[in-house]
């Protein structure tokens, strides 16, 4: 099996695998937010950035190549990832203390993983429309990081096409495919993958908030990285 | 009139001609406040006010949030009694989801959490905040009039205080996951049960906690009786009292009806359904404070203000359900000589009797099989308006929410314990100013008398400020040397004035 080098580790890969997939298979976690193994890669959050010959690449889209030397956990890349997650926090309105997703939020868990101690940047405090109109699902755009997992999951896994991104740059936002533009009247359902896979508290199934006690929430007892590595490897075992 | 000197000293006729003395910040209380005294040339006090210098706006910024978040969000009002806000909000939200009667497990675990909160908060106040004044004297050396001084001079008392608080915090941690700002209550119930292991671990120390609490009652009583005449008169005045009360008239901290008694102990209302509080309690806004002034509607704003908290609860309770606390209550009640106890300094003994009640009640609940049950949540018919009332350590705490059909909060009203005591604290400040400070040369020790009176109410000033709209503001512009260049004042009615301008 061909291999490449991730920092000092020799990582085997199969033809067509990305650097991120091969690393996950080998038990090396590269932080990411917009990547999901069941969805096409998106390469938008940039957290999984690595450098090859000094040039940055998103490891979720970059194919692994034999003998390649990939830098992943350098001080510069760790600092870049921390800055990226800090910018995600200040760009929206993320109030972890009262968020239903707290403790099970991938954005929050990634921030802990990357050692984020503060926001560093000035908060933007954007004013965005909250959508509580649906009886089973709530959408809080303040918490959306535009990873488009819901957009892709709704289309590819739920077969519904409920979400899209509208606008450009920092003003881009999540749009809902319904006559009124509200979740009420859309095809969304609380059990949809689009809701379940949201890495933040932007999309939440109503009525289940805070049911998991502190200490027993998803990331309270085990770090995000080991949970995702285990799940990915189990998934690979099934598919292989 | 309920108070002899209340009205004359609230607002001086010609404040511009008076000397201003400021106590800022008021120390050893929760939150930030200040006292201003205006004195004439002879040193006579002409105006005395307790101001709340900080500003919070929870009632407004929770608007639009889904109701599920509210019990978790509003507890951030406070770092000392978040459990009280968590539970008051949860009770209001229970109404919204049609869960007016919880499962026995859910109700008892919430009660247990609340008792842990009462225990730790009362221990914190008596041992850490109030005991330096009581043990060393109001005028004693300021350098040692603090918790460090207590640790050095009375290590046994100080250590008991620390351990009592720690025990209460441990009850909270086990049930809510964190010592501060945890989560137990969810709409219609709780999110966990008490494990047998955790129950056994809490049982190990509870007998000691009860014994220490008994000792704390004795300490508070001995300190009060050591100078009965002075303590009975210090910052003392007559007032009405409001609290929750159990169906059988006994002391109740978590759930019950509202009882109001006047200064003679006669009932104004009794077993009032908490949903109807708004018909009986209104709030007055004054331009010089961010804290509102609640009053009993039937008695009017001048005569209807009242006190809440340990003193009010013990005055209003016909008895206490647990035996040790009940026997202490009976002794305490004799101070009133047939009527309510009105002395401000009697708050301390009342608080310690409640701490003893909390310890005894925790011991009972730890042996209750319901606390280890698994039936945690109940739901019923949806509603769009809910009121939740608990007795926070500092007094009656009212949370009131209205939601729309999307579950979003559209209106919130919080009347916090310290707000309920606003007029009482101001009256105590004026009493002490008139009695102890009037015409005398002011010293740090004398000014501390004012703080001692405020501290007796264990105010939580950060919880208590909710006024929104035209905030009263006083803006001064100074040059680099500190010279006043300009000043603008806006009162709570939105009127802007430049003091001194024609």
The minimal CB distance from B69 to the residues A100, A133, A213 is found for: A100
Q: What is the widest separation between alpha-carbon atoms in chain B?
A: 74
The minimal CB distance from B186 to the residues A138, A210, A215 is found for: A210
Which pair of structure tokens corresponds to residue B338?
A: 């047939």
Q: How many helices (H) and strands (E) does chain A have?
A: 6, 10
What would the DSSP string read from start to end of B320-334?
-SSHHHHHHHHHHHG
Q: How would residue B50 be classed by pLDDT, with cut points 50, 70 and 90?
A: confident
pLDDT recorded at residue A28: 97
3-state class (DSSP) for residue B241:
strand
Q: Considering only CA atoms, give the Rg of chain A.
A: 18
* CA distance, residue B187 to nearest chain A CA (Å): 9
Which chain B residues are closer than 8 Å to A214 by Cβ?
176-178, 182-183
Would you say residue A203 has pLDDT above 80? yes
Q: What distance in Å separates the CA atoms of residue B96 and residue B108, rounded to the nearest whole number? A: 20
Given a contact cutoff of 8 angstroms between Cβ atoms, the answer to whether B365 and B174 are in contact is: no
* Domain coverage including residue A224: 1-126+213-240
The domain tally of chain A equals: 2
Q: How would residue B51 be classed by pLDDT, with cut points 50, 70 and 90?
A: confident
* CA distance, residue A235 to nearest chain B CA (Å): 31
Task: Point out the least confidently predicted range of A142-151, A221-230, B99-108, B289-298.
Answer: B289-298
Given a contact cutoff of 8 angstroms between Cβ atoms, the answer to whether B455 and B345 are in contact is: no
pLDDT recorded at residue A177: 97
Most A CBs within 10 Å: which of B186, B190, B374, B380, as the mutation test of the A interface? B186
DSSP type of residue A4: E
Given a contact cutoff of 8 angstroms between Cβ atoms, the answer to whether B341 and B335 are in contact is: yes
DSSP E strands, B26-76:
33-39, 45-52
User: How far apart are the two ends of chain A, measured CA to CA in Å?
Assistant: 15
Residue of B nearest to A209 (CA): B68
**Which residues are paired to A163 by β-bridges?**
A176
Query: CATH code at A205?
Result: 3.30.70.20
Indicate whether A25 and A136 sit together in one domain. Answer: no
Report the mean per-residue pLDDT for chain A: 96
Given a contact cutoff of 8 angstroms between Cβ atoms, the answer to whether B354 and B325 are in contact is: yes
Q: What's the average model confidence in pLDDT over B374-392?
A: 96
Q: What's the average model confidence in pLDDT over B260-277?
A: 96
Residue B180 near chain A (CB below 8 Å): no
- Taking the CB of residue A187, how many other CB atoms lie within 10 A of it? 15
The minimal CB distance from B76 to the residues A98, A138, A209 is found for: A98
pLDDT in tens, A117-139: 999 999 999 999 999 999 999 99
Q: Which residue has the higher pLDDT, A217 or B80?
A: A217
Indicate whether A28 and A88 sit together in one domain. Answer: yes
Q: Which sign does the torsion angle of CA B464, B469, B470, B474 carry? A: positive
The domain tally of chain B equals: 3
pLDDT recorded at residue B479: 62
Task: Point out the least confidently predicted range of A56-65, B36-45, B136-145, B206-215.
Answer: B36-45
CB contacts < 8 A, A to B, total: 50
Residue B440 near chain A (CB below 8 Å): no
Residues 6+ apart with CB under 8 A from B276: none
Indicate whether B185 and B216 sit together in one domain. Answer: yes
Would you say residue B498 has pLDDT above 90? no
Indicate whether B116 and B148 sit together in one domain. Answer: yes
Contact check, Cβ <8 Å, B406/A132:
yes
Q: What distance in Å separates the CA atoms of residue B142 and residue A232, rounded to the nearest whole number? A: 63
pLDDT recorded at residue B443: 80
Indicate whether B432 and B497 sit together in one domain. Answer: no
pLDDT recorded at residue B290: 75
Share of chain A above pLDDT 70, in %: 100
* CA distance, residue B69 to nearest chain A CA (Å): 6
pLDDT recorded at residue A239: 78
Given a contact cutoff of 8 angstroms between Cβ atoms, the answer to whether B391 and B244 are in contact is: yes
Which chain A residues are closer than 8 Å to B68 by Cβ?
100, 206-207, 209-210
Q: What's the average model confidence in pLDDT over B172-180?
A: 96
Report the mean per-residue pLDDT for chain B: 88
- Whether residue B253 lies inside any domain: the answer is no
Contact check, Cβ <8 Å, B68/A215:
no
Given a contact cutoff of 8 angstroms between Cβ atoms, the answer to whether A202 and A88 are in contact is: no
Indicate whether A9 and A95 sit together in one domain. Answer: yes
Kindly report the backbone phi and psi dihedral angles of residue B261, in degrees, each rounded to the nearest multiple of 5, phi listed first: -120, 145
Which chain B residues are closer than 8 Å to A130 by Cβ?
64, 408
Which pair of structure tokens corresponds to residue B463?
A: 């919880």
* Domain coverage including residue B204: 102-237+352-377
Which chain B residues are closer than 8 Å to A97 by Cβ?
72-73, 76, 181
Given a contact cutoff of 8 angstroms between Cβ atoms, the answer to whether B189 and B378 are in contact is: yes
Would you say residue B467 has pLDDT above 60? no
Q: What distance in Å separates the CA atoms of residue A224 and residue A173, rounded to the nearest whole number? A: 27
Which pair of structure tokens corresponds to residue A203?
A: 């999309």
Indicate whether A94 and A29 sit together in one domain. Answer: yes
Q: What's the average model confidence in pLDDT over B120-128?
A: 94
Q: How would residue B34 be classed by pLDDT, with cut points 50, 70 and 90?
A: confident
Q: What distance in Å separates the CA atoms of residue B35 and residue B44, rounded to the nearest whole number? A: 16
Q: What distance in Å separates the CA atoms of residue B298 and residue B282, rounded to the nearest whole number? A: 10
Would you say residue B77 has pLDDT above 80? yes
Q: How would residue B4 be classed by pLDDT, with cut points 50, 70 and 90?
A: very low
Residue B219 near chain A (CB below 8 Å): no
Which pair of structure tokens corresponds to residue B68?
A: 């599920």
Which pair of structure tokens corresponds to residue B461?
A: 């000033």
Q: Considering only CA atoms, give the Rg of chain B.
A: 23
Indicate whether A33 and A152 sit together in one domain. Answer: no
DSSP type of residue A93: T
Q: What's the average model confidence in pLDDT over B74-80?
A: 87
**Which residues are paired to B488 by β-bridges?**
B475
Q: What distance in Å separates the CA atoms of residue B329 and residue B336, rounded to the nearest whole number? A: 11
Indicate whether B39 and B165 sit together in one domain. Answer: no
Indicate whether B475 and B460 sit together in one domain. Answer: no
Most B CBs within 10 Å: which of A180, A190, A210, as the mutation test of the B interface? A210
Given a contact cutoff of 8 angstroms between Cβ atoms, the answer to whether B277 and B348 are in contact is: no
Contact check, Cβ <8 Å, A97/B181:
yes
Indicate whether A81 and A191 sit together in one domain. Answer: no
Indicate whether A194 and A168 sit together in one domain. Answer: yes
Would you say residue B373 has pLDDT above 60? yes
Show which residues on chain A lie within 8 Å of chain B, measured between beta carbons. Answer: 97-100, 130, 132-133, 138, 206-207, 209-216
* CA distance, residue A95 to nearest chain B CA (Å): 9
B370-398 CB burial, b ≥16 within 10 A, e <16: bbbbeebbbeeeeeeebbbbbbbbbbbbb
Given a contact cutoff of 8 angstroms between Cβ atoms, the answer to whether B191 and A217 are in contact is: no
Query: Does the N-terminal peptide bond of residue B25 adopt cis geometry, omega within 30 degrees of 0?
Result: yes
Q: What distance in Å separates the CA atoms of residue B300 and residue B495, rounded to the nearest whole number? A: 26
Indicate whether B356 and B443 sit together in one domain. Answer: no
Contact check, Cβ <8 Å, A138/B176:
no
DSSP type of residue A35: -
Indicate whether A149 and A200 sit together in one domain. Answer: yes
Indicate whether B128 and B213 sit together in one domain. Answer: yes
Query: Does the N-terminal peptide bond of residue A100 adopt cis geometry, omega within 30 degrees of 0?
Result: no
Residue B176 near chain A (CB below 8 Å): yes
- Whether residue B134 lies inside any domain: the answer is yes
Q: What distance in Å separates the CA atoms of residue A93 and residue A83, rounded to the nearest whole number? A: 17
* CA distance, residue B210 to nearest chain A CA (Å): 29
Would you say residue B287 has pLDDT above 80? no
Which chain B residues are closer than 8 Å to A133 by Cβ?
406
Indicate whether A42 and A79 sit together in one domain. Answer: yes
Kindly report the backbone phi and psi dihedral angles of residue B190, in degrees, each rounded to the nearest multiple of 5, phi listed first: -135, 165
Give CA B25 to chain center in angstroms: 18
3-state class (DSSP) for residue A215:
coil
Chain B residues 26-65 with a CB less than 8 Å from chain A: 64-65
Residue B380 near chain A (CB below 8 Å): no
Indicate whether B49 and B110 sit together in one domain. Answer: no
Task: Point out the least confidently predicted range of A4-8, A18-22, B23-27, B32-36.
Answer: B23-27
Q: Which of B131, B130, B119, B80 is nearest to B208 (CA)?
A: B119
pLDDT recorded at residue A23: 98
Residue of B nearest to A98 (CA): B73
pLDDT in tens, B181-191: 999 999 999 99
Given a contact cutoff of 8 angstroms between Cβ atoms, the answer to whether B215 and B349 are in contact is: no
Which pair of structure tokens corresponds to residue B478?
A: 């100074």
Q: Which of B417, B429, B498, B431 is nearest to B462 (CA)?
A: B417
Indicate whether A14 and A87 sit together in one domain. Answer: yes
Task: Point out the least confidently predicted range of B3-7, B247-251, B276-280, B368-372.
Answer: B3-7
Residue B15 near chain A (CB below 8 Å): no
Measure Cα distances from B261 to A1, B55, B239, B325 in Å.
Answer: 85, 31, 9, 22
Residue B186 near chain A (CB below 8 Å): yes
On the 0-12 / 13-18 / 19+ scale of CB atoms within 10 A, A97 is exposed
Q: What distance in Å separates the CA atoms of residue B366 and residue B385, rounded to the nearest whole number? A: 34
Would you say residue B18 has pLDDT above 90? no
Q: What's the average model confidence in pLDDT over B202-227?
A: 97
Which chain A residues are closer than 8 Å to B65 by Cβ?
98
Most B CBs within 10 Å: which of A98, A141, A180, A202, as the mutation test of the B interface? A98
pLDDT in tens, A139-150: 999 999 999 999
Q: How would residue A208 be classed by pLDDT, with cut points 50, 70 and 90?
A: confident
pLDDT recorded at residue B468: 42
Given a contact cutoff of 8 angstroms between Cβ atoms, the answer to whether A10 and A70 are in contact is: no
Indicate whether B30 and B117 sit together in one domain. Answer: no
Q: What distance in Å separates the CA atoms of residue A69 and residue A7, rounded to the nearest whole number? A: 7
Q: What distance in Å separates the CA atoms of residue B191 and residue B185, rounded to the nearest whole number? A: 6
* CA distance, residue A144 to nearest chain B CA (Å): 16
**Which residues are paired to B441 by β-bridges?**
none
Tally the residues of chain A. Answer: 240
Residue of B nearest to A206 (CA): B68
Instruction: Tell me how many degrees the CA angle B292-B293-B298 measures, rounded to the nearest 5.
Output: 135
What would the DSSP string read from start to end of B463-485?
TS----SS--EEEEEE-TT--EE
Q: Encode B83-111 in three state secondary structure.
A: HHHHHHHHHHHHHHCCCCCCCHHHHHHHH
Tally the residues of chain B. Answer: 502
Indicate whether A36 and A72 sit together in one domain. Answer: yes
Indicate whether B368 and B455 sit together in one domain. Answer: no
* CA distance, residue B491 to nearest chain A CA (Å): 29
Most B CBs within 10 Å: which of A202, A209, A216, A219, as the mutation test of the B interface? A209
Would you say residue B473 has pLDDT above 60? no
Q: How would residue A66 be classed by pLDDT, with cut points 50, 70 and 90?
A: very high
Q: How many helices (H) and strands (E) does chain B have?
A: 18, 17
pLDDT in tens, B405-431: 999 999 999 888 988 998 998 898 888
Indicate whether A52 and A147 sit together in one domain. Answer: no
Which pair of structure tokens corresponds to residue A126?
A: 């954007």
Residue of B nearest to A142 (CA): B65
Indicate whether B140 and B208 sit together in one domain. Answer: yes
Share of chain B above pLDDT 90, in %: 64
Q: Encode B257-299 in three state secondary structure.
A: EEEEECCCCCEEEEEECHHHHHHHEEEECCCCCCCCEEEEHHH
Indicate whether B458 and B502 sit together in one domain. Answer: no
- Whether residue B46 lies inside any domain: the answer is yes
């Amino acid at each position: 099996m061909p291999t490449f080098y991730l920092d000092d580790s020799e990582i085997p890969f199969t033809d067509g695998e990305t650097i991120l997939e091969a690393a996950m298979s080998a038990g090396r976690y590269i932080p990411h937010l917009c990547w999901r193994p069941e969805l096409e890669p998106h390469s938008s959050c940039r957290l999984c950035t690595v450098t090859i010959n000094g040039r940055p690449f998103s490891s979720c889209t970059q194919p692994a190549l034999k003998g390649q030397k990939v830098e992943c956990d350098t001080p510069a890349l760790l600092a870049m990832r921390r800055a990226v997650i800090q910018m995600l926090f200040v760009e929206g309105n993320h109030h972890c203390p009262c968020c239903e997703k707290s403790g099970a939020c991938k954005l929050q868990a990634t921030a802990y993983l990357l050692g984020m101690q503060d926001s560093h940047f000035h908060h933007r405090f954007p004013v965005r429309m909250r959508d509580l109109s649906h009886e089973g699902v709530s959408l809080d755009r303040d918490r959306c990081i535009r990873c488009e997992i819901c957009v892709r999951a709704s289309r590819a896994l739920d077969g519904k096409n409920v979400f899209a991104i509208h606008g450009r740059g920092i003003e881009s936002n999540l749009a809902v495919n319904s006559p009124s533009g509200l979740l009420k009247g859309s095809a969304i359902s609380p059990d949809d993958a689009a809701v379940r896979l949201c890495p933040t508290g932007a999309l939440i199934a109503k009525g289940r908030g805070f049911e998991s006690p502190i200490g027993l929430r998803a990331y309270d007892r085990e770090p995000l990285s080991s949970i995702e590595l285990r799940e990915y490897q189990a998934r690979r075992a099934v598919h292989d | 009139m309920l108070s002899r000197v209340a009205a004359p000293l609230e607002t001086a006729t010609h404040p511009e001609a008076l000397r201003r003395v400021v106590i800022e910040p008021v120390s050893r209380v929760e939150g930030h406040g200040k006292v201003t005294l205006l004195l004439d040339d002879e040193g006579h006090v002409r105006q005395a006010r307790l101001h709340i210098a900080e500003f919070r706006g929870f009632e407004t910024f929770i608007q639009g949030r889904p109701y599920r978040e509210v019990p978790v969000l509003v507890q951030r009002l406070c770092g000392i009694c978040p459990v009280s806000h968590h539970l008051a909000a949860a009770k209001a939200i229970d109404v919204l989801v049609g869960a007016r009667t919880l499962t026995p497990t859910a109700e008892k675990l919430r009660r247990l959490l609340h008792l842990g909160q009462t225990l730790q908060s009362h221990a914190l106040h008596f041992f850490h905040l109030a005991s330096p004044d009581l043990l060393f004297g109001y005028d004693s050396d300021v350098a040692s009039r603090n918790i460090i001084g207590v640790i050095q001079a009375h290590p046994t008392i100080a250590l008991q205080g620390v351990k009592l608080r720690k025990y209460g915090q441990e009850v909270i941690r086990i049930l809510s996951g964190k010592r501060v700002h945890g989560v137990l209550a969810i709409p219609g119930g709780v999110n966990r049960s008490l494990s047998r292991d955790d129950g056994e671990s809490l049982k190990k120390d509870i007998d000691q906690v009860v014994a220490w609490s008994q000792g704390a009652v004795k300490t508070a009583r001995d300190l009060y009786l050591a100078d009965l005449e002075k303590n009975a008169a210090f910052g003392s005045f007559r007032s009405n009292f409001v609290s929750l009360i159990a169906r059988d008239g006994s002391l109740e901290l978590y759930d019950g009806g509202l009882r109001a008694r006047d200064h003679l102990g006669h009932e104004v209302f009794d077993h009032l359904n908490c949903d109807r509080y708004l018909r009986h309690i209104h709030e007055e806004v004054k331009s010089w404070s961010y804290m509102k002034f609640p009053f009993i509607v039937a008695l009017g704003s001048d005569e209807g203000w009242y006190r809440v908290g340990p003193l009010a609860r013990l005055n209003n309770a016909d008895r206490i359900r647990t035996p040790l606390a009940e026997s202490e209550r009976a002794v305490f009640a004799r101070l009133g000589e047939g009527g309510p106890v009105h002395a401000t300094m009697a708050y301390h003994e009342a608080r310690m009797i409640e701490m003893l009640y909390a310890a005894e009640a925790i011991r009972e609940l730890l042996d209750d099989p319901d606390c280890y049950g698994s039936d945690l949540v109940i739901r019923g018919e949806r509603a769009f308006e809910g009121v939740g009332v608990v007795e926070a350590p500092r007094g009656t705490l009212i949370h009131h929410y209205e939601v729309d059909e999307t579950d979003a909060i559209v209106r919130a009203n919080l009347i916090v314990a310290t707000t309920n005591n606003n007029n009482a604290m101001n009256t105590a400040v004026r009493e002490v100013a008139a009695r102890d400070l009037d015409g005398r040369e002011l010293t740090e020790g004398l000014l501390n008398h004012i703080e001692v009176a405020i501290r007796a109410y264990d105010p939580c000033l950060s919880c208590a400020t909710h006024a929104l709209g035209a905030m009263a503001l006083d803006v001064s512009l100074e040059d680099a040397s500190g010279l006043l260049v300009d000043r603008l004042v806006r009162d709570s009615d939105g009127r802007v004035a430049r003091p001194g301008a024609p």
